[in-house]
Amino acid sequence: MKKWIKRGLKAIIFLLFSFVFIQLLMYGYAKLTPKLEIKSANAVMMYDKDNTLFFQGSGTQEWVNLEDISPYLINATISTEDKHFYEHFGFDYLRILKSFYINIMSGSTSQGASTISQQYAKNLFLDFDRTWERKIKEMWLTMQLEVHYSKDEILEGYLNTINYGHGNFGIENASNYYFNKKAKDLTLAEAAMLTGIPKSPANYSPLVNYDIAKKRQISILNRMQENGYISEDEKNQAMAEELTFIGEKNTINTNTVMYYQDAVMRELESIEEIPESYLETGGIRIFTALDLTAQKALEENVKDNIEADSNLQVASVMMDPDTGSIFALIGGKDYTTSQYNRAVQSKRQVGSVMKPFLYYAALENGFTSSTSFMSQETTFTFSNNKTYSPQNYGGTYAGKPISLATAIAYSDNIYAVKTHMFLGEEVLVDTAHRLGITADLQAIPSLPLGTAEINIMEMAAGYAAFANQGYRVSPHLIERVEDLAGNVLYQASNKKEQVLNSNLTYILSQLLTSTYDAAFIDYSYPTAINIAAKLTHTYALKSGTTDTDHWSIGYNPEVVTAVWIGYDDNQSLDTSDYKYSRNIWADTMEDYMANKEDSWYAQPENVVGVLVNPITGNPATSEDTKTKILYYLRGTEPTGLEPVFDELTDKEKEPA
């Protein structure tokens, strides 16, 4: 037994000496590496379309020296984050062992052991992936910091780069934002409150949840007393001090612009032209397409339409159809409560906003604005006696032939599936992919009803091809990236590829105005008729509904706006929820077009307008109470003798 103990002790001693030896070698090698320029490391500056700086992360615009930071803040940070900061060489091994033991015994990972040096190293990266490669880089950078800089310099850098919430990086920015004062003037109570935020800015910001923030402040004050930084009287006075929060910045600050910033960083990671060295130590300037006026309007319209206490979520993008540049983006209702960026990270069922892809393909394959199918309950029968019975919303059917224009106005599902089956199920898949949709689309009967899950940015880019009269564009937020010396590292190409016929996109765009046109009121109402009074400009618009999602996507030559609303847990929507996406869309488009003349498309030479009965699509007669000019390729104008297309589909079974 004693032999095993001796062998075990020898093994442990050998491993400890080996570990120490390897550490010494690594520290020695780190000493030989070039000194990191920590004041520019990971200095990320973002500019809007007018080249105005709207965000600067990991480094402030004005680097504040350690002596210009309140001693209360410094002591609170050390006491809370790393009480042995001035004693170790980057890693607190006893703390690591203790947290490892606690996590094993508790079966959780609640205990952390990162030192201030390690956290600062983490701040010098642009991403926070939890990979082994990422951890190794972080450890190596920690060693480089420790051998090249003093403890005071590391602490100074840490306090100038840490996230204090609401887009505030660095203690000087945070002091100005929360208390309208310089960091050197913070009181003990204010310092303890700010020190508590970085652990979880979304939870511990006093502007988000004061009660939770107050509890954390008290915990920090207790630690400061235990560690000998303050007396009990000082602690009690600080606990009792009533704080006044300003919550404003002199610079630009909108709540949801953080979603835009996050989307920019995600896009940056995908750009191969940006060397990793710039991301880690060089500093970069990112010139984006952000239009702050549009962004603020979009944010306000979300706030005005969705109740603050609702669990309903939202995503929206505004895009320049000529370039694919996204100049406004919202990934959720409130960044402070949820950083999940639904505009970038989520895919949702798209519902009937899929139908314009189908109807463009139909126009390519000989359909016209007047092409008609019967609108009635229909069961489609396939091989092996499989059936499919789609339903119209509310169970409303015309019981007669309706035109393509009417099918779009009412979002008639029967018409859509009949068109889909008539063309062949692969046609819609191919058309969507041609327009840039990368989602895995299944050639199934329900595809035109939007059963596929697609990202909102891709959907906006697909509609952009209709808006720009036939050109496929790539959605993007970044226009140009430069290093701090002004050298261009990346330039967006904004290339356009013509994939659609401009004559047909004109006809489709005209058809998509029917969704809010009173001329189509007949046996039912156009799907967006309830927002018609809001619209003072001409737009193409389509909405889409599933049990869990509601979409509104529309455009004119200047802008494509897409809005999605739904619940993160896929809770079913109530019919009263549908109004939110339409109203956000309408209000946002009208705000964007305010004080601008109506922007619409010039009629192509090969397209003619014909006065027709909009429901049947037949040429108008004196007996028609409602008429509408619909558009056709020259030579395909309706005569009133066209057949109803149902007789050409032999795979459906009509009910008795």
Give the bridge partners for 381, in sequence order. 387
Taking the C-alpha atoms of residue 29 and residue 218, their distance in angstroms, rounded to an integer, is: 43
Give the bridge partners for 448, in sequence order. none
**SS3 category, 454:** strand
Catalytic hit among 58, 175, 316, 352: 352
First to last CA, the chain: 90
- What the block records as the tokens of 200 is 């979880």
Instruction: Estimate to the nearest angstrom the gap between the alpha carbon of 531 and the chain centroid.
Output: 26
Residue (of 152, 206, 151) closest to 174 by Cα position:
206
Q: Tell me the CB-side half-sphere exposure of residue 289, using CA atoms within 13 A.
A: 25
Please report, for residues 83, 319, 354, 521, 611, the alpha-carbon distance to residue 373 in angstroms, rounded to integers and kept in the order given. 76, 35, 19, 18, 20
Residue (of 163, 173, 323) closest to 258 by Cα position:
163
Contact 100, 112 (CB under 8 A): no
Residue position matching structure tokens 């060295």: 277
- What the block records as the tokens of 505 is 């996109």
Angle of helix 210-226 relative to helix 71-81, nearest 10 degrees, comes to: 90
Strands 652-653 and 478-483: unpaired
Annotated catalytic, 272?
no
Contact 318, 326 (CB under 8 A): yes
| Alpha-carbon dihedral angle through residues 593, 597, 603, 609, given to the nearest 10 degrees | 90
- The beta-strand segments (E) located in 331-384 are 348-349, 372-374, 379-381
Taking the C-alpha atoms of residue 292 and residue 288, their distance in angstroms, rounded to an integer, is: 11
487-491, long-range: CB < 8 A, 24+ apart: 489/273, 489/274, 489/275, 489/278, 489/284, 490/271, 490/273, 490/274
**SS3 category, 257:** helix
Contact 346, 565 (CB under 8 A): no
Annotated catalytic, 110?
no
Beta carbons within 10 angstroms of residue 596's beta carbon: 10
DSSP tag of 76: H
**Residue 530, H or E segment:** none
Beta carbons within 10 angstroms of residue 309's beta carbon: 5
Beta carbons within 10 angstroms of residue 418's beta carbon: 25
- What the block records as the tokens of 587 is 């209000």
Angle of helix 292-305 relative to helix 257-269, nearest 10 degrees, comes to: 120
Q: Which amino acid is at 405?
A: A
Residues designated as active site:
81, 352
